[in-house]
């Protein structure tokens, strides 16, 4: 089971990286959140029944952990653990080719609320309304309404960032 | 930059993340063990200390009820100790329940909305409940327990002197509570923690409302 779990984490590590990057801005917090998500996934792994897509399930756990159960103040242990020292979460700024667009996107998304971040992330991942509804618990019709609101909010934010840059 | 460009940028980011180095197997295993043991030992330590303290208090309460070391003659004199034991039992039960809730709380099977509501419920219940119990507990210990010696004092000193005499331990208890409060015994650690919990609860509530709106 451990092998299968490690394989799943590695195959879909991008999902966890993205959630960590979206919800935490400091490296240490990102690593803590990463660990917490991995732990939650591990705890739930034996009962995962393939009723939903594996990625949908991973998004659900990762977003639930990031939004509802991750306490910011329980962080920063005095000593760096082995796992902290041995892995780094790739940051958006690490990719120089698309740096400008990506950092603009990151900057804009950072101004959204936690719930809005989750919804827009799932939209950018091209998840269907059904999947977004399944992950967040919002009705399918409400997903559309919310997405439209978030899109226009995001456009406004991007415009204002552009305006500031000029 | 329009939304299509945003999507393209995001997909490019996703593609690049998939090309990053895979995480070492040992790191994942150590991550799970480290986090589980850290969390488990912290919660376990706190609860064990709480249980031990409460069991000692309960033992002392039961010893008073069974052994009658204060030579109570009337049943009513036992009332503060009975309330004391009742409060301890309630607090113990609340602790056990909270401990089990924490152990059982799983966010992986529910969607965001359900998870938020469950966590809010876990936050809300003990706060109110413990608050009332602690008030009853303190009132009993500060006022009722000293008054349980009143019948003996009346026998010895008469009504008014006995009442005045009983005011001494009550005043001392009130004064000690006041000093402890002023020295920050309740404030520094617990008030900040309580504030953090409250603000977290508020945040959870607003997120839950945001999902509904």
Report the CATH number that the domain containing residue A25 is assigned in CATH.
1.10.1740.10
Chain B residues in contact with A155 (beta carbon < 8 A) = 2-3
Among partner residues B28, B36, B109, which is closest to A6 by beta-carbon distance?
B28
Q: In terms of residue numbers, what domain contains A39? A: 1-90
Residue B67 lies in a domain: yes
Alpha-carbon distance of B123 to B194, in angstroms, equals 11
Residue B166 lies in a domain: yes
CB distance from B40 to chain A under 8 Å?
A: no
Q: What are phi and psi of A119, to 5 degrees?
A: -65, -45
Alpha-carbon distance of B64 to B146, in angstroms, equals 14
Residue B46 lies in a domain: yes
Same domain, A82 and A14: yes
Same domain, A27 and A98: no
CB distance from B4 to chain A under 8 Å?
A: no
Chain A residues in contact with B193 (beta carbon < 8 A) = none
Residue A79: predicted pLDDT:
44
Q: Which of residues 67-106 of B touch A (CB under 8 A)?
A: 106
pLDDT digits (tens, 9 = 90+) for A2-59: 788 888 888 888 899 899 988 888 878 888 888 888 888 888 888 777 767 888 889 9
Interface probe with B: pick from A1, A4, A35, most Cβ of B within 10 Å: A35
Our CA-based measurement puts residue A23 at a distance from the nearest CA of chain B, in whole angstroms, of 14
Interface probe with A: pick from B4, B9, B207, most Cβ of A within 10 Å: B9
- Interface A-B: count of C-beta contacts within 8 A: 157
Among partner residues B8, B111, B200, which is closest to A60 by beta-carbon distance?
B111
Token code pair at residue A14: 């991008």
pLDDT digits (tens, 9 = 90+) for A83-142: 555 666 776 666 555 557 777 888 888 888 888 999 999 998 888 999 999 888 888 888
For A3, other C-beta atoms within 10 Å of its C-beta total 8
Chain B residues in contact with A64 (beta carbon < 8 A) = 107-108, 110-112, 115
Our CA-based measurement puts residue B132 at a distance from the nearest CA of chain A, in whole angstroms, of 26
Which 3-state string (H, E, C) describes B77-139? Answer: HHHHHHHHHHHHHHHHHHHHHHHHHHHHCCCCCCCHHHHHHHHHHHHHHHHHHHHHHHHHHHH
Same domain, A37 and A57: yes
CB distance from B66 to chain A under 8 Å?
A: no
**Residue linked to tokens 């002197």:** B161
CB distance from B25 to chain A under 8 Å?
A: yes
For B181, other C-beta atoms within 10 Å of its C-beta total 11
Our CA-based measurement puts residue A25 at a distance from the nearest CA of chain B, in whole angstroms, of 17
Q: What are phi and psi of A162, to 5 degrees?
A: -60, -45
Q: Answer yes or no: do B13 and A43 touch at CB < 8 A.
A: no
Residue B78: predicted pLDDT:
93
Token code pair at residue A145: 């309404």
Residue B81 lies in a domain: yes
Report the CATH number that the domain containing residue A139 is assigned in CATH.
1.10.10
Our CA-based measurement puts residue B86 at a distance from the nearest CA of chain A, in whole angstroms, of 33
Q: What are phi and psi of B185, to 5 degrees?
A: -60, -35
Q: Domain total for chain B?
A: 1
Cβ atoms of A65 and A36 closer than 8 Å: yes
Same domain, A10 and A29: yes
Same domain, A27 and A75: yes
Last residue of a domain, one of A57, A90, A123: A90
Q: Answer yes or no: do A68 and B204 touch at CB < 8 A.
A: yes
What mean pLDDT is reported for chain A? 80
Q: Answer yes or no: do B28 and A101 touch at CB < 8 A.
A: no
Q: Mind listing the pLDDT tens digit of every residue in chain B (213 residues)?
A: 677 777 888 888 888 887 777 777 777 777 777 766 666 666 677 778 888 988 999 999 999 999 988 888 888 999 999 999 999 998 888 888 777 766 665 656 667 777 777 777 766 666 677 778 888 988 998 999 999 998 988 888 888 999 999 999 999 999 998 888 888 766 545 556 656 666 666 777 777 777 777
Residue B18 lies in a domain: no
Same domain, A159 and A109: yes
Residue B20 lies in a domain: no
Among partner residues A9, A90, A138, which is closest to B211 by beta-carbon distance?
A138
Q: In terms of residue numbers, what domain contains B201? A: 41-212
Among partner residues A86, A92, A114, which is closest to B207 by beta-carbon distance?
A114
Residue B197 lies in a domain: yes
């Amino acid at each position: 089971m451990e092998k299968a779990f490690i394989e799943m984490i590695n195959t879909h590590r991008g999902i966890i990286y993205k959630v960590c990057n979206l919800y935490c801005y400091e490296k240490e917090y990102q690593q803590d959140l990463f660990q917490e998500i991995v732990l939650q996934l591990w705890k739930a792994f034996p009962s995962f029944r393939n009723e939903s897509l594996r990625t949908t399930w991973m998004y659900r756990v990762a977003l639930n952990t990031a939004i509802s159960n991750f306490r910011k103040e329980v962080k920063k242990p005095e000593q760096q653990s082995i796992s902290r020292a041995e892995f780094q979460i790739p940051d958006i700024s690490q990719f120089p080719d698309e740096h400008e667009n990506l950092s603009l996107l990151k900057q804009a998304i950072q101004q959204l609320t936690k719930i809005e971040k989750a919804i827009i992330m799932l939209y950018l991942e091209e998840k269907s309304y059904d999947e977004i509804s399944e992950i967040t618990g919002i009705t399918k019709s409400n997903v559309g309404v919310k997405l439209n609101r978030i899109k226009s909010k995001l456009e406004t934010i991007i415009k204002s960032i552009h305006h500031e840059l000029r | 930059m329009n939304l299509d460009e945003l999507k393209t940028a995001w997909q490019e980011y996703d593609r690049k993340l998939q090309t990053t180095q895979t995480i070492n197997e040992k790191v994942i295993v150590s991550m799970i063990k480290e986090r589980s043991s850290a969390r488990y030992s912290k919660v376990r330590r706190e609860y064990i200390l709480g249980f031990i303290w409460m069991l000692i208090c309960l033992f002392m309460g039961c010893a008073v009820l069974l052994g009658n070391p204060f030579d109570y003659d009337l049943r009513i004199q036992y009332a503060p100790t009975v309330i004391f034991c009742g409060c301890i039992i309630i607090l113990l039960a609340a602790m056990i329940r909270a401990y089990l809730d924490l152990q059982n709380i799983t966010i992986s099977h529910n969607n965001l909305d359900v998870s938020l509501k469950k966590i809010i419920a876990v936050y809300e219940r003990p706060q109110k409940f413990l608050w009332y119990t602690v008030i009853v507990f303190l009132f009993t210990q500060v006022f009722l327990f000293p008054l349980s010696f009143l019948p003996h004092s009346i026998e010895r000193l008469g009504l008014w002197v006995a009442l005045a005499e009983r005011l001494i331990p009550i005043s001392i208890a009130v004064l000690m509570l006041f000093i402890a409060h002023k020295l920050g015994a309740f404030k520094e650690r617990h008030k900040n923690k309580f504030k953090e919990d409250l603000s977290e609860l508020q945040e959870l509530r607003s997120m839950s409302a945001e999902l509904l709106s």
